[in-house]
Amino acid sequence: MSKITQTQITELLCQRLACFTDVEAEISPETNLITHLAIDSVKLLNLIMEIEDQFDISVPLNALVDVLTVQDLANLIYKIKLSS
């Protein structure tokens, strides 16, 4: 798990996000979580908890203010994972 790459994180996120959204859409790194997938704040917070457990990290909610796309979220997770 420690050698996980940014691409792997992005792929994993795309898979998980498909379960969290009711919107039928192709999910790519550029997909906007709110405008494209209609992920509301509560869904996003629950997704974050799952991600935290999956990668054994803590993602502070305040770090999410800069997250718009799947790629932004993947970058954040990668950064936290690297420094943990």
Q: List interacting residues with other proteins (CB under 8 A).
A: 40-43, 45, 48-49, 52-53, 56-63, 84
**In terms of CB distance, is 28 or 58 closer to other proteins?**
58
Q: Cα torsion for 7, 9, 70, 79, to the nearest 10°?
A: -100
List all residues 6 or more positions away from 23 whose beta carbon is below 8 Å from its beta carbon.
Answer: 36, 37, 38
Shortest Å, Cβ 62 to other proteins: 5
DSSP state of 74: H
**In terms of CB distance, is 11 or 64 closer to other proteins?**
64
**In terms of CB distance, is 3 or 65 closer to other proteins?**
65
